Amino acid sequence: MTGLLTDLLVDLIDGVDGAINSAFNSLMNTCFNAEYELTHILGNQVITLDNLKILIFSFALSLIILKFLKKGFDIYILWTEGEADTPPLTFIVYFIRAIVVLISSTILYDWLVDVVQDFGNQMLESLNISQTMEITATMSNLAGEGLFTAIMAVIALIMLFVLWVQFIIRGAEIFVLKLGFPLACVGLVNADGGVFTQYISKLFKSMLTVLVQILCCKMGLLLVFSGQLIYAIAMIILAIKTPKMLQEFMLGGGGGGVSNVIITASKTMELSGQLSRKIKQLKKVK
């Protein structure tokens, strides 16, 4: 009876050979190149998102122009918003900043993904983790050693399925953030960057969380290959819980990177202009 159950579990593991191996040997593409995974089947494109990207870009550009005109009218004509003595040049700099970041959004995103993927691949190489792993074959061999080992192998396999689905969700989340990036650029018309700073923080947080998950997952697979299934299950569960574990402190107080530098420079220009005008006014009074 024990032998029959063991053989059944071994057959179950062997039945998912192709899906598991292909999924966990291409985690970087699943998470950071979800657009290709969603629009292609067996290398053939079945869906195109070009029209959607153009629509979002055009809508964001229209919003930037409208917001620039409205804020300019409110500040310098109605005097109902902001500082009326804010130099028009500074306000124009905010507008140009939003347009430049919007136009270069695709290039900036691709650069960011390349940097994150290269960092992730170097981490995996530092652990001597192979790019291709025969996961199910190893689990099947371990399961053949006895019923308890077979049960542990099936549990690890189920956890890997759960983690795989989570990786797909994370990849889709990063893809949606990429689509919404042009709309976040509208906030750059404001002096403080609007929602753009928080948006970039969310994008960085998602990418770094995925990197930690991939690292934990690969370490769990290494433990599978070394025959330590219980420790492997623990590491896979840790990978599943990574988002919850990191959400409270990863990039806390979110900084916007390059955007923060631009915002700080703009604020400095604005402040220096206001101070110089106040000094001139005091000199005239004297």
Q: Is residue 253 part of a domain?
A: yes
Classify residue 282: in a domain, yes or no: no
Instruction: Identify the residue with better confidence: 94 or 75.
Output: 94
Whether the Cβ atoms of residue 10 and residue 140 lie closer than 8 Å to each other: yes
Would you say residue 18 lies in a domain?
A: yes
The domain tally of the chain equals 1
In this structure, is residue 284 part of a structural domain?
Answer: no
**Cβ atoms 207, 116 nearer than 8 A:** yes
Residue with tokens 């229209």: 62
What pLDDT score was predicted for residue 118? 85
Q: Which helix (H) or strand (E) holds 40?
A: strand 40-41
pLDDT band at 224 (very low <50, low <70, confident <90, very high): confident
pLDDT in tens, 204-220: 888 888 888 888 888 88
Look-up: residue for tokens 């402190």? 249
Percent over 70 (pLDDT), the chain = 71
CA 5 to chain centre: 42
Q: What is the CA radius of gyration of the chain?
A: 26
Q: Does residue 191 lie in a domain region?
A: yes
Q: What is the pLDDT of residues 5-58, one digit of tens each?
A: 565 556 555 555 556 666 777 778 888 888 877 776 766 777 778 888 889 889
Contact between 88 and 214 (Cβ < 8 Å): no
pLDDT at position 5, please?
58
Q: What are phi and psi of 247, to 5 degrees?
A: -65, -25
pTM attached to this predicted model: 0.72
Q: Which helix (H) or strand (E) holds 41?
A: strand 40-41
Which one, of 177, 159, 161, 133, lies nearest residue 32 by Cα? 177
Domain around 179:
2-275
At 123-138, the pLDDT tens digits run 877 777 665 667 767 7
Phi, psi for 188 (deg, rounded to 5): -70, -10
44: which strand partners?
41
